[in-house]
Amino acid sequence: MRCIIVTEKRSTAFFMNGGAGRILSSIPAFEAYEKENPEDDFIIVCEGGMEMYAGHPTLHKRAYDNWHKGLFEEHLKHRNCKTLEPYRIWEYYNQKASITQAFDIEINNKGVRDLDPPSVWLSSVEVAEGVKVVKEVKENVSKQRVVVFQPYGRSAQPVGDQLVDGGGRSFHTDDVVKIIKKMQEKYAVIVMSEFPADFQKMGCPDPVAQPEGAPLRIWNGIINAADAFIGCDSVGQHIAHAVKTPAVVCVGATFPENISYKDDELFQVLDVGDPKRIYDPIRLSMEDHISRNNDGIMRLGDAAIKEILKELDKKVSDNLRGK
C-alpha cells in the first residue's frame, strides 16, 4: 500500500525592514514575483516605509504595517513567513548586484538580471503639494530654479551641536554650508533633513527652506517638482530616480554599484570613497576597524565640491532642454 503525502500549498508573507529607500528598491522584484507566481496570494509586512507602496496598482493592497490590527490571525497564521535581507546576498556584498537586484535574487532566485526601475505613484494632492512648496521657495528668494539637497543619511546623529555620521554616508556640515552657499548663487535650495539648522547663521546668504515634519509622500512631490536633486546614500536619491528628477549623488563608505544608479543618464554618481573605502558588512557583522577606516570618508576638498556643482549645473541645463 502506497502512502501519498500531500503538502499543503501556502502563500507567502514577506517581511521588510529598514528605511523607505529599501522599500522603494524592492518594488521591481515584487512586481516580477507577482507576474511570475500568480498563484501566490502573497503579502508584504513592513516595519517602516510602507507608504512608499501607496498608489501602486497591486502592491499597495498587499502591504501591511507590522502593527496592523489582526495581522497574525487574519493574514500570517496561514502563510509561510520569509524575512528579506538583501545585504546578505552574495552578489550584493561582492558588488555584483544593486540593492534592487539583490531583492530580486532573494525573492525570485533568478540571478542578476535587468529589471524595470522602481516607480512611485503620486496622487494629485501630492503632486500639487510639491508644486506649491517649490513655487513658494522660488518666490521667497527670487530664483527661477530649485534644487533639493539631502546631505545626511540615516546613520547621522546629533552629538552636542554637531551632526556626526560614523557610517561615512553623510556630507560634513562644513561642506554642506559651502555647497549651499555656491548653489544659492543660481538656485533656491530646499534641504531634506530630520535635523533643521540655521544655515544663514552659518553664512548662507539666502534663507534655506527646510519643510519640517513633511511626510515622505510630500517629499516625493517636492522632489518631483524640483529642477534637480543633490544627495548622499539615502532615500532622497531613490525618490529622485523613481520620479525621474536629474540628480548628483555623492557616495563614500558605500559602493555605487550597490546603492545608486550610475547607469541612469539622469544621474551623476560621484565616488569620493575610492580607493580608501573598505566594504562595511552591514547586517552581516560589526567590525570596528572598518567603520573607523571609513569614518570621515565623505569629507570633501574644494575640488570635489567644484565637481559636484559643475555636474549640478549640467543636470539643470539638460533638464531645461527637455533631455
Any domain includes 4: no
Whole-number pLDDT of residue 131: 98
Any domain includes 1: no
d(CA 268, CA 72): 44
Contacts of 270 (CB under 8 A, 6+ apart): 248, 249, 250, 251, 304, 307, 308, 311
Any domain includes 231: yes
Cα 217 to chain centroid, rounded: 13
Whole-number pLDDT of residue 160: 85
Query: In the listed set 108, 132, 150, which residue is the last one of a domain according to the structure?
Result: 108
- DSSP code, position 296: T
Any domain includes 159: yes
Same domain flag for 104 and 80: yes
Same domain flag for 17 and 142: no
Q: How many CB atoms lie within 10 A of CB 113?
A: 11
Closest CA to 203 of 182, 226, 224, 222: 182
Q: Hey, what's the cell of 269?
A: 554618481
Same domain flag for 82 and 154: no
The single-letter code of the amino acid at 104 is D
pLDDT digits (tens, 9 = 90+) for 148-161: 999 999 889 999 87
Angle at CA of residue 120, ends 118 and 125, nearest 5°: 170
Any domain includes 190: yes
Same domain flag for 192 and 55: no
Same domain flag for 140 and 200: yes
Any domain includes 114: no
Query: Residue 77 in contact with residue 66, Cβ under 8 Å?
Result: no
- DSSP code, position 75: I
Same domain flag for 207 and 241: yes
Query: In the listed set 76, 108, 140, which residue is the last one of a domain according to the structure?
Result: 108
Same domain flag for 151 and 218: yes
Q: What residues of the chain score a pLDDT lower than 50?
A: 323
Same domain flag for 96 and 241: no
Whole-number pLDDT of residue 323: 42
Same domain flag for 192 and 261: yes
Q: Which helix (H) or strand (E) holds 250?
A: strand 247-251
Domain enclosing residue 37, as ranges: 12-108
Same domain flag for 206 and 133: yes
d(CA 122, CA 215): 13
Q: What is the 3-state secondary structure (H, E, C) of 47-71?
A: CCCHHHHCCCCCCHHHEEECCCCCH
Any domain includes 298: yes
Same domain flag for 173 and 296: yes
Q: Describe the strand order of the beta sheet including 188-191 as a list of residue ranges.
A: 188-191, 146-150, 228-231, 247-251, 267-271
Closest CA to 188 of 129, 150, 135, 266: 135
Cell 550597490 locates to 258
Could you give the number of structural domains in the chain? 2
Predicted structure pTM score: 0.95
Mapped onto helix, strand or coil, the DSSP state of residue 93 is helix
Any domain includes 7: no
Same domain flag for 265 and 185: yes
d(CA 267, CA 18): 24
